[in-house]
């Protein structure tokens, strides 16, 4: 190979690029020019990655906790402020609506200015919005804080998931996704458990504050840890990228030789919306957007549907009588059922992390979406409360499996220069699904609870069809990169 050139083969789906060495030929001959993945191999797996994954889990927790707490406290707000079903829907829709809008906007910003800068400011604002929500004197101020909360969550998740694919070797990428999923879905169980312990004792205000506390260590970590080395490399910031990996090496108690330099290039199409829809990426963008829309429609719909159907005595009242939007807070028994269902759903994430790296992405995704289709159809069968309770747990477990698999697929399906942009776009489509899913529950549950199940069934069928149409298996691309 010519001494003035090096061919870089990235480990995250980037196309092969021929790039010029930095400095003159004579200078470069005294240096070891390595690709980032080679440097990651030298650094090894250690505290640096563990801290990054902790950050990913904390940010994911903070975001999903803010979404989940609404399903728990809305019955209490209904009693305190006399909320109508329409206003309840407006609160949830505004949260997910601002989420979708800012996810698509700031995915591009993250690809241009970096993940760290965007996450640190949005996490700080998220904490202030949570405190403001807890101190809200009326429903209108609370609604405003939810708009800000939704915007911050949309910004955060589009950025933080990119970390899972950018600060470790390809073979460890799934562990970053596991941290993200456990933080996200674990928050649902934690919020439910904390609500079971404190909601009826100290009130919804303190519940919001308590479940928002992990945002503080998340802020500390994001300020302490360096920017994503892969982003710095692709954006042409070689010196900063080397400084970042040297910091990681010190954390792992490894020492990089002084003559090591990183093979970097400056991609002029950072954060390009047109690139995520070009011929190379169009099918991935559209197909993953459809699948994620359906998954979040059902996932977020179930989050708000479960407390309602539990408090309605599930199989009894909801099948025989039309409900009104009455002032009735969740009982301890309702909160216990919700906690069990959400904690059990984490087994779906564990199953995905075990199976997907071995079998691949597509086959488990197709099987899981088909099982989810069957489990939702079973919700129409009302034998007794225990049967319905078990069925809802199965539906949650499978939905969590699908969600985990998607989060493994999404960041590894796009090159670094547009990863956050594509993730933000797909994330936005998903949260539009969340808007429709939660609106469907709030607006139709008190009219006909089982019409909601019918809509869930249709959406799950669309998601299953999407997995059959999509034919890209990214597992094998990762194997080729090693």
Q: What's the rounded mean pLDDT across residues 377-400?
A: 80
Least confident window among 63-72, 191-200, 273-282, 390-399: 63-72
Residue 424: inside a domain: yes
pLDDT band at 24 (very low <50, low <70, confident <90, very high): very low
| 221: containing domain | 47-227+270-481
Closest CA to 76 of 205, 162, 197, 174: 205
Which of the given ranges, 13-22, 96-105, 212-221, has the highest pLDDT on average? 212-221
Name the least confident of 127-131, 147-151, 217-221, 472-476: 472-476
CATH of the domain at 442: 1.20.1250.20
Domain count across the chain: 1
pLDDT recorded at residue 17: 40
With a pLDDT cut of 90, the percent of the chain lying above it is 12
Question: Among residues of the chain, what percentage have pLDDT more than 70?
Answer: 83
365, part of any domain: yes
**Statement: residue 211 has pLDDT above 80:** yes
Res 175 pLDDT > 50 = yes
pLDDT, position 427 = 82
pTM here is: 0.70
Whether residue 212 lies inside any domain: the answer is: yes
**Residue 291: predicted pLDDT:** 93
Flag whether 260 is in a domain.
Answer: no
Find out whether 402 and 435 touch, Cβ atoms under 8 Å.
no
Which conformational region is residue 360 in: left (phi greater than 0), alpha (psi within -120 to 50 degrees), or beta? Answer: left
Looking at residue 462, its pLDDT comes to: 94
| Span 48-62, pLDDT tens digits | 888 888 888 888 887
Q: Which of these ranges, 125-134, 164-173, 247-256, 417-426, has the smallest mean pLDDT?
A: 164-173
Closest CA to 192 of 396, 340, 59, 323: 340
Please state, in angstroms and as integers, the Cα–Cα distance from residue 211 to each residue in 94, 206, 221, 292, following that order: 21, 9, 18, 26
Residue 232 lies in a domain: no
The pLDDT value given to residue 37 = 77
Q: Answer yes or no: is 243 within a domain.
A: no
Average pLDDT, whole number, for the chain? 78
- Residue 21 reports pLDDT greater than 60: no
- pLDDT(480) > 50: no
Give pLDDT tens digits for 354-363: 888 788 888 9
Instruction: Identify the pLDDT of residue 6.
Output: 34
Residues 245-294 have pLDDT tens digits of 888 888 888 888 887 877 776 655 676 778 888 888 888 899 999 999 99
The pLDDT score that the predictor gives to residue 367 is 93
Asked if the structure places residue 467 within a domain, the reply is yes
According to the model, what pLDDT value does residue 15 have? 38
pLDDT at 396: 85
pLDDT at 83: 82
Residue 264, domain member (yes or no): no
């Amino acid at each position: 190979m010519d001494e003035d050139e090096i061919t870089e083969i990235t480990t995250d789906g980037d196309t092969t690029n021929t790039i010029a060495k930095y400095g003159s030929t004579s200078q470069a001959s005294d240096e070891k020019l390595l690709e980032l993945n080679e440097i990651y191999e030298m650094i090894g797996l250690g505290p640096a990655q563990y801290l990054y994954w902790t950050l990913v889990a904390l940010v994911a927790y903070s975001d999903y906790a803010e979404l989940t707490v609404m399903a728990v406290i809305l019955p209490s707000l209904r009693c305190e402020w006399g909320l109508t079903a329409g206003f309840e829907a407006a609160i949830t829709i505004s949260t997910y609506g601002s989420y979708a809008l800012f996810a698509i906007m700031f995915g591009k910003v993250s690809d241009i200015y970096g993940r760290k800068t965007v996450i640190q400011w949005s996490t700080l604002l998220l904490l202030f919005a949570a405190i403001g929500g807890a101190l809200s004197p009326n429903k209108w101020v609370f609604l405003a804080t939810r708009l800000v909360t939704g915007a911050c969550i949309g910004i955060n998740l589009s950025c933080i998931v990119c970390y899972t694919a950018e600060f470790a070797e390809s073979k460890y990428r799934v562990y970053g996704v596991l941290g993200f999923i456990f933080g996200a879905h674990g928050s649902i169980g934690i919020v439910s458990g904390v609500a079971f312990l404190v909601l009826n004792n100290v009130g919804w205000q303190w519940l919001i504050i308590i479940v928002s506390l992990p945002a503080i260590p998340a802020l500390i970590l994001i300020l302490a840890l360096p920017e994503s080395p892969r982003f710095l490399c692709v954006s042409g910031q070689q010196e900063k990228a080397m400084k970042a990996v040297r910091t990681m090496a010190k954390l792992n108690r490894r020492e990089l030789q002084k003559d090591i330099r990183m093979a970097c290039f400056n991609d002029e199409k950072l954060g390009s919306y047109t690139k995520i829809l070009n011929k190379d990426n169009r099918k991935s963008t559209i197909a993953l957007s459809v699948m994620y829309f359906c998954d979040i429609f059902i996932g977020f719909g179930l989050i708000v549907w479960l407390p309602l159907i539990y408090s309605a005595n599930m199989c009894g009242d909801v099948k025989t009588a039309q409900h009104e939007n009455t002032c009735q807070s969740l009982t301890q028994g309702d909160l216990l059922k919700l906690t069990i269902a959400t904690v059990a759903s984490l087994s779906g994430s564990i199953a995905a992390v075990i199976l997907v790296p071995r079998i691949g992405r597509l086959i488990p995704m197709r099987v899981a979406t088909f099982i989810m289709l069957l489990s939702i159809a079973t919700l129409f069968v009302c034998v007794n409360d225990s049967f319905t309770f078990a069925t809802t747990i199965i539906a949650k477990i499978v939905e969590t499996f699908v969600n985990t698999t998607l989060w493994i697929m999404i960041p590894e399906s796009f090159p670094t220069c547009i990863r956050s942009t594509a993730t933000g776009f797909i994330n936005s489509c998903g949260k539009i699904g969340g808007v429709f899913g939660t609106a469907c529950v709030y607006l139709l549950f008190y009219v006909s609870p089982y019409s909601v199940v019918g809509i869930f069934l249709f959406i799950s069928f669309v998601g299953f069809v999407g997995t059959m149409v999509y034919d890209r298996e990214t597992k094998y691309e990762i194997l080729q990169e090693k």
